[in-house]
Structure 1
């Protein structure tokens, strides 16, 4: 099983690995180490290995070359510009100290002797400053890539190379391959479960290499998102187009495709011309947890926030980014004088969290904003259940419209009333079930209205969860059976026989 992150914080991947191993499959989960050291641990019966991924290809080839026509005075790429500027500062500082010493000694001749080097140092500093500024300007242009030449070269590679153009547009994708490839080959898997688009190519190439050695490897592609519809998490203008080309090139090698919603399954089938519609495996929470997990004490959300049981508390749990709309929860606090807000996020000290903290201070509501780290995925439901409202304030992006996301199921099993923005799939579901209120995305007044409506009658929304069968299919146990069947069919086995043959199968 392949994933391009550090596993911790990725509840879907953790549940997939644990449940597949529990079903009898021999599972090795390969992820990306956040440090230069490889890490290993057990996740139930699954083995987790985090690999060191060097990133020398993060910079594109042209970023290592001089640009004599575009910036003739710029230094060559690398640390030389910073060194030269710092060296000039050191030289002028040294001359200034010598001038002070000459003055203390009353040496007029000494001061006179320092005049030529001081004039030269000033002139040289100006020259170095010009070249330093041109070097920095060139680096900015290379990152922005908005010039006519940049747009032409991007279009040229796409036209001449087609989907293979990612090799020119974002060669950093090779870094994943070079870190994972040999490890996958050494495991000799029968089946590779590739999570998301970057691992799709890694898995496809491993499958091709195995075929040259007479081994048949099946590839399951787990598409978490609709790639053309995401807000790119890398601002480089070539990044998104490169990832889309990369995904298109390798999608044909998938023997089975699974994804997170029926809508996304239809979109993937249409985009990639799949012979079969992808299976849907929802990222639902566990209905039951193991005895060792149950023995771990669940942190008290309200205690961590320093508030009592009757204080209104709205919670957001999950990825934190501007397009997730968390700012509206902070902006609403002056209009909701009793309300506290808790953000449960992977990186509580990220730049975005710091921005929201600063904004809370400007509004004078800092004491009512609480930023907390993730808890283990099997504790999320119990942890969140102490809140009064579960909020999903995401903005209108194509990828946000098409799925019931992880926190939707977590909030539901925590029996929280919802306040959700009017993104298509989740907004329609909440309206249909009556488990919360829908507000117009990015509309502060409408958000406040929705929160006030829930606080006025929370029992009305919580009672929805007593509806027979509502939560039954929204459990990981039900989804694990679907995943188990996908593996079995890909390998040509009846799903009911998986445990009997699993010893000979490896999911890498």
Structure 2
């Protein structure tokens, strides 16, 4: 089957979107012809290949003077430096987004594809329009609950929210299949839009057993000795991710606990200053952005992962972060926010502990509990090893994605 994946990313951003690349490679390995359509500034299209035989088509979108400086998330006039940011912030930039949609639809129609796979709400209208004049399958891959994100917090966001709920309700009904990342998101979308339960394709990582040498090498580079407990946060450094609260928990832990922060983002300088105010500079390591192919090696070097995402919006509350699955793939127990999907993995499946992400004392207590009983810690490692091998493994999870397209190939649009 000839499949077009549509993604609101630029060539610089695509290498860091592990979900898209994993799905595209799985479909290509199964014999499908896969192209990823992204956006690029300028007048000339670009084509290149990633992975094993995955074609990338960069659709040119020309800048429009005066429409490239707006940040709808805060209602401020700020420079928007990337093309995909301009497109994603379309409530204040409708003309620019309209140009992106028109150019992308034309590119898809020229391709004469058999299926369009839309990644997130930003591309759903493109897919609906592209398949409307041909017998093609439309798959909507919702990476989040778009209308419950931080973009719709505050008065300006609330005024726009109802409009985009209506838009998503109208468009989602054209999808032959809806995919999402976790049970919480799936049940929410099914209830709000009165659609069948979406197929859950979790953001799991590849499970690749590894010896201890890379672990020891990374710990040595981070100046963490075998007697110390290495806690690791991985992800965006931004408000609502709870990194500040995790740092505030560090002084409440014994001196042998060290926190490594792997990632980048707008809050990095604020976090560095916070480390100074808390007097924990010697116990915090700012690692920066790590290449996708090296990320699991860093996760394996930790004794525990920490995910303290806060309930700034419903999308965060129902989140099932990639970082949990990276911990599972790496065999590392974790401490996470006490939200539905994270609680299920941590407690019901015995892989970690939970805490109140608003309280440093709760985070510190949960981390102490995680290490309080060596036998219990080993049991969590064993539960993670079993889950990584038998369930939360891309070789297992990808079959749900492949089944959608296998059924589509046999039955046409009735998938």
Shorter-chain TM band: 0.7 to 0.9
Q: Distance in 1 between matches of 2:290 and 2:27?
A: 22
1:267 aligns with 2:274: no
Superposed, 1:448-487 pairs within 5 Å as: 448-467=364-383, 469-471=386-388, 472-487=390-405
1:255 aligns with 2:255: no
Q: Distance in 1 between matches of 2:126 and 2:108?
A: 9
Find 1:227's aligned residue among 125, 146, 157: 146
Q: Distance in 1 between matches of 2:153 and 2:67?
A: 13
Q: Distance in 2 between matches of 1:390 and 1:36?
A: 44
Cα deviation, residue 255, structure 1: 1.3
1:194 aligns with 2:118: yes
Contact 1:56 1:175 in 2 (8 A): no
Cα deviation, residue 169, structure 1: 8.6
Q: Deviations over 1:127-169 (max 9, x none)?
A: xxxxxxxxxxxx99x9479xxxxxxxxxxxxxxxxxxxx9899
Identify unmatched segments of 5+ residues in structure 2: 78-89
Q: Distance in 2 between matches of 1:433 and 1:33?
A: 43
Contact 2:6 2:117 in 1 (8 A): yes
The residue that corresponds to 1:30 in the other structure is: 37
Which deviates the most, 44-53 or 425-434? 44-53
Instruction: Flag the 1:298–1:373 CA change in 2: closer, same or farther, 3 A.
Output: farther
1:489 aligns with 2:407: yes
RMSD: 3.5
Aligned residues: 383
Contact 2:184 2:340 in 1 (8 A): no
1:365 aligns with 2:280: yes
Cα deviation, residue 311, structure 1: 2.3
TM-score (norm 2): 0.81
Contact 1:18 1:43 in 2 (8 A): yes
Q: Deviations over 1:394-438 (max 9, x none)?
A: 112322333433211111121212111211221233122332221
1:48 aligns with 2:56: yes
Superposed, 1:65-214 pairs within 5 Å as: 143=75, 170-208=94-132, 211=133
The residue that corresponds to 1:105 in the other structure is: none
1:394 aligns with 2:323: no
**What SS does structure 2 have at the residue aligned with 1:321?**
coil
Contact 2:355 2:362 in 1 (8 A): yes
TM-score (norm 1): 0.67
Q: Distance in 1 between matches of 2:101 and 2:251?
A: 50
Q: Distance in 1 between matches of 2:42 and 2:267?
A: 23
The residue that corresponds to 1:283 in the other structure is: 203
Q: Distance in 1 between matches of 2:66 and 2:153?
A: 12
The residue that corresponds to 1:3 in the other structure is: 7
The residue that corresponds to 2:359 in the other structure is: 443
Cα deviation, residue 34, structure 1: 8.2
Cα deviation, residue 256, structure 1: 1.1
Q: Distance in 1 between matches of 2:355 and 2:237?
A: 20
Which has the larger Rg? 1
Please identify which structure carries the higher helix content: 1
Q: Distance in 2 between matches of 1:34 and 1:367?
A: 43
**What SS does structure 2 have at the residue aligned with 1:31?**
strand
Cα deviation, residue 309, structure 1: 3.0
Cα deviation, residue 325, structure 1: 0.7
Cα deviation, residue 15, structure 1: 0.4
Q: Distance in 1 between matches of 2:310 and 2:303?
A: 22
Identify unmatched segments of 5+ residues in structure 1: 64-138, 146-165, 495-508
Find 1:433's aligned residue among 307, 327, 349: 349
Instruction: Flag the 1:287–1:435 CA change in 2: closer, same or farther, 3 A.
Output: closer
The residue that corresponds to 1:136 in the other structure is: none
Instruction: Identify the structure with bigger relative contact order (alpha carbons < 8 Å, sequence gap 6+).
Output: 1
Contact 2:42 2:63 in 1 (8 A): no
Find 2:241's aligned residue among 320, 324, 328: 324
Cα deviation, residue 186, structure 1: 2.3
**What SS does structure 2 have at the residue aligned with 1:394?**
coil
